[in-house]
Amino acid sequence: MSGAGTFYITTPIYYVNDVPHIGHAYTTVAADVLARYWRLRGCEVFFLTGLDEHGQKVQQAAAKAGIDPQVHCDKLAPQFETLWKKLSISNNAFIRTTDPEHTSIVQQYLNKLHDKGLIYKDSYTGWYCTFDERFWTEKDIESGLCPDCKRPVEKISEHNYFFKMGQYQDRLIEHIKTQPNFIRPESRRNEVLGFLQTQKLGDLSISRPKSRLSWGIELPFDSNYVTYVWFDALVNYRSALEYLPREKPIGNRFWPASVHLVGKDILTTHAVYWSTMLMALNLPLPETIFAHGWWTVDGEKMSKSRGNVVDPYKMADEFGADAFRYFLLREVPFGQDGDFSHAAMITRVNSDLANGLGNLLSRTLTLIERTQTGQIPVPGTIGPAEREIEQATGSLLNDLLPRHLEQLEFNRALEATWQVVQLANQYVDKTAPWNLAKHQDEAERLRTVLYTMAETLRCLSLATYPVIPNSAQSICNQLGIATEFTSPLLTSKIEWGGLKPGTIIHKGPSLFPRIESKPGASLVTESSVPSQSTAAAPIATAAPTPPTPPPITIDEFMKIQLKTAKVLSAERVPKSEKLIKLQVSLGTEQRQIVAGIGKKYEPDALIGKTIVIVANLKPAKLMGIESQGMVLAAGDADVQGLITIQEEVDPGTKVK
Ligand code: MSP
């Protein structure tokens, strides 16, 4: 938090050279979660996102479309604004760098630095990467290619204006050293520090001649130049505060920013360029710059040319905004790279949302409807099981949730929340309220159990609201409680028992309908799909989380014949993205195995590998092709890694 009770959070402003993708959605959803959380904590929040509309990329995209750059920006901007509405993003402002107010503030800042003698003109020769819009030195480039994006660079010699960035090197090192939260996560902080401590920080070219780039903000002191896209873009974090809020200006109350969220690729521009610009302007530095990781898709880099760009609109249409938001933050620790796959998304929705939280709500409401004439019952005497739940929800809301969210450990916050969901579902399984309902003398116990379930859900609505705001609201509506989530609900300790007995519930549609996965989406062959135990409560509408399978004896395990096999050949099964047909040697025999590992592996990469197979599995047909066994791999529906033997082992060797 910056200052007393304010929280200012920003996302990068996105280039309008193309439509939004999962990367844009990721940062914006994460920022939204923090904004919603801090509002619950009673903070005055300013959440800013927007668009970076100048520069070569946008100019080129407009030229390609044969339209004026401003028309191009105006055409694409609604794609972002509409997406943010669709994903329930609660930004307070949306900046576009072609706004005249932003342009004039950038020019004011340029003038200020120029007047202070911190901007000078010089000639410069370097290798220029059009894609990244930056110069590289001779030693940076590798075989004529940009070290960052690997595209060809061109040698350019020209006069430009430079910002005296280099003179702030020591001050910046000192700042990073003394402010451990300034650059996060820690590994990224060490990277930036390492670079600053071993290389001389040069000055920054902040202009482009108009002859080369016309789509930019003109330098106020030389009309032959426009400013460099990064100088223009970074200023948005300040300029927005000056002209976008209805109540103006709010700059001083919200500065410095609490968190600038960025992707790992643009950390240097923020941690080094922006920080030194702020030093030169005598403005305090942000409290935290947090760099998150990148998403790959089915194990591959996401790119237009690969045709695997994840469209957030489609994700929200197919799964719902809340489920997509949940997946993005639950699947991968914030700060690390992660992999997106359709199968992983379905697994999360079904196991955590439909079977977990959704099932808890529907069981609770159905039972209250049927046995308590739709009213929250008065609880009776509580026992150890109720105390355990009460204690767990208290520790979630008053300790774990704030601790993890304030550290931007979204996955851990969700993990802790879903432990309570699981505990509550287990409590329902154990107490079996549907049985209690059959016995008149258990009426009080039944009321206690149902009250405990409903009150847990009320607490869970608070805990889940930042990530799945629509579902949290729906939980409250269905419980019959009017909850205004925009008010500061988490300012004091949350006490158990807030739900008033007598409240009339309004059971609605299920929170998260189960998604049936498409055929061929799983590695498991037809003959080996374990029949899932559905020890469901009779009244439950969705299947509860499958319990851990019971232990097996060594004899039972020994029935499974595991053997090493050497891959002789591998080819894709036509019309399937997942299936690969393998010919493997077991020493004395050869087998054909069809494995669902095609999203993770290219067939050629498998040849020669020694893998492990289930050798005595009944043959099954997959897409009409016989599979004589099953390969072992780590991962659930989504394969993460094949089990291979590193050492030279004869094919057909027993594995146990
Ligand atoms: N316009 C600049 C930012 C200026 S901020 C003052 C820019 N725009 S961008 O549209 O190219 O990228 C925006 C963000 O998307 C970056 O934070 C980048 O890390 C993120 N991502 C792009 N691809 C991504 C993934 N595959 N995964 C996660 N985030 C990714 O850079």
List pLDDT tens digits, range 426-474.
999 999 999 999 999 999 999 999 999 999 999 999 999 999 999 999 9
- Domain membership of residue 601 (yes or no) is yes
Nearest to 416 by CA among 429, 403, 425, 407: 403
- Domain membership of residue 217 (yes or no) is yes
pLDDT score recorded for residue 520: 39
Q: Which atom of ligand 1 is nearest to the CA of 14?
A: 10
CA angle 36, 37, 40 (to 5 degrees): 90
Same domain, 154 and 261: yes
Question: What is 341-373 written as a DSSP string?
Answer: -HHHHHHHIIIIIIIIIIHHHHHHHHHHHHHST
How many residues comprise the chain?
A: 656
Q: Which of 412, 444, 479 is the last residue of a domain?
A: 479
Q: Which atom of ligand 1 is nearest to the CA of 262?
A: 17
pLDDT score recorded for residue 517: 65
pLDDT score recorded for residue 248: 67
Q: Which atom of ligand 1 is nearest to the CA of 261?
A: 17
CB 86 within 8 A of CB 79: no
pLDDT score recorded for residue 638: 78
Any ligand 1 atom below 6 A from CB of 262? yes
- Domain membership of residue 428 (yes or no) is yes
Read off the tokens for 144.
Answer: 């004529």
Same domain, 178 and 259: yes
Any ligand 1 atom below 6 A from CB of 20? no
Centre of ligand 1 to C-alpha 263, Å, is 6
Which CATH number characterizes residue 409's domain? 1.10.730.10
Same domain, 205 and 61: yes
Any ligand 1 atom below 6 A from CB of 289? no
Of 51, 106, 266, 337, which is best to mutate to test ligand 1, by the most ligand atoms within 8 angstroms of its C-beta? 266
Residue of the CA atom closest to atom 12 of ligand 1: 14
CA angle 106, 112, 114 (to 5 degrees): 100
Backbone angles phi, psi at 192, to 5 degrees: -65, -45
Residue type at 422 in one-letter notation:
Q
What's the CA gap between 375 and 440, in Å, rounded? 18
CB 329 within 8 A of CB 408: no
Same domain, 14 and 74: yes
Any ligand 1 atom below 6 A from CB of 13? yes
Of 9, 10, 15, 275, which is best to mutate to test ligand 1, by the most ligand atoms within 8 angstroms of its C-beta? 15
Same domain, 241 and 348: no
Compute the CA torsion angle 398, 7, 43, 6 (nearest 10 deg): 130
What's the CA gap between 485 and 37, in Å, rounded? 10
- Domain membership of residue 487 (yes or no) is no
Same domain, 36 and 158: yes
Any ligand 1 atom below 6 A from CB of 24? yes
Any ligand 1 atom below 6 A from CB of 27? yes
Q: Which atom of ligand 1 is nearest to the CA of 263?
A: 19
Which CATH number characterizes residue 565's domain? 2.40.50.140
Residue type at 464 in one-letter notation:
T
pLDDT score recorded for residue 241: 94
Give 275-334 pLDDT, tens digit per residue.
999 999 999 999 999 999 999 999 999 998 899 999 999 999 999 999 999 999 999 999
Same domain, 364 and 279: no
pLDDT score recorded for residue 250: 74
Which CATH number characterizes residue 160's domain? 3.40.50.620
Q: Which of 479, 505, 520 is the last residue of a domain?
A: 479
Give 47-86 pLDDT, tens digit per residue.
999 999 999 889 989 999 999 999 999 999 999 999 999 9
- Domain membership of residue 283 (yes or no) is yes
CB atoms < 10 A from the CB of 123, how many?
Answer: 8
If you search the block for the tokens 């992707």, which residue do you land on? 263
- Domain membership of residue 192 (yes or no) is yes
Which stretches of the chain drop beneath a pLDDT of 70?
A: 1-4, 248-249, 251, 517-550, 553
Of 13, 16, 24, which is best to mutate to test ligand 1, by the most ligand atoms within 8 angstroms of its C-beta? 24
Residue of the CA atom closest to atom 29 of ligand 1: 23
Centre of ligand 1 to C-alpha 91, Å, is 18
Centre of ligand 1 to C-alpha 80, Å, is 13
Give the number of domains in the chain.
3
pLDDT score recorded for residue 251: 66
Residue of the CA atom closest to atom 9 of ligand 1: 14
Q: Where are the beta strands (DSSP E) in 470-616?
A: 562-572, 580-585, 590-595, 610-614
Same domain, 593 and 471: no
Centre of ligand 1 to C-alpha 84, Å, is 16
* Per-residue exposure over 541-576, b if at least 16 CB sit within 10 Å of its own CB, e if not: ebbbbeeeeeeeeeeeeeeeebbbbbbeebeebeeb
Q: Which of 257, 292, 327 is the last residue of a domain?
A: 292
Residue of the CA atom closest to atom 2 of ligand 1: 14
Centre of ligand 1 to C-alpha 24, Å, is 6
pLDDT score recorded for residue 539: 35
Centre of ligand 1 to C-alpha 262, Å, is 7
Centre of ligand 1 to C-alpha 23, Å, is 6
Same domain, 32 and 149: yes
- Domain membership of residue 316 (yes or no) is no
C-alpha distances in angstroms, 413 versus 399, 404, 455, 457, 631? 10, 5, 20, 17, 35
Q: What share of the chain is helix, strand, coil (3-state, %, to 5)?
A: 40, 20, 40
Peptide bond into 185 cis (omega under 30): yes
CB 504 within 8 A of CB 375: yes
- Domain membership of residue 300 (yes or no) is no
Collapsed DSSP state (helix, strand, coil) of residue 279: helix
Any ligand 1 atom below 6 A from CB of 42? no
Any ligand 1 atom below 6 A from CB of 131? no
Any ligand 1 atom below 6 A from CB of 276? no
Same domain, 278 and 355: no
Same domain, 191 and 53: yes
What pTM did the predictor assign?
Answer: 0.79
- Chain centroid, CA 64 distance in Å: 32
Q: Of all residues in the chain, what percent carry a pLDDT higher than 90?
A: 74
H helices of 41-178, in order, are 56-65, 69-86, 100-115, 169-178
Same domain, 110 and 180: yes
H helices of 358-442, in order, are 359-371, 384-395, 401-406, 410-431, 433-436
Any ligand 1 atom below 6 A from CB of 26? yes
Residue of the CA atom closest to atom 21 of ligand 1: 23
Residue 561's domain spans which residues?
A: 554-642
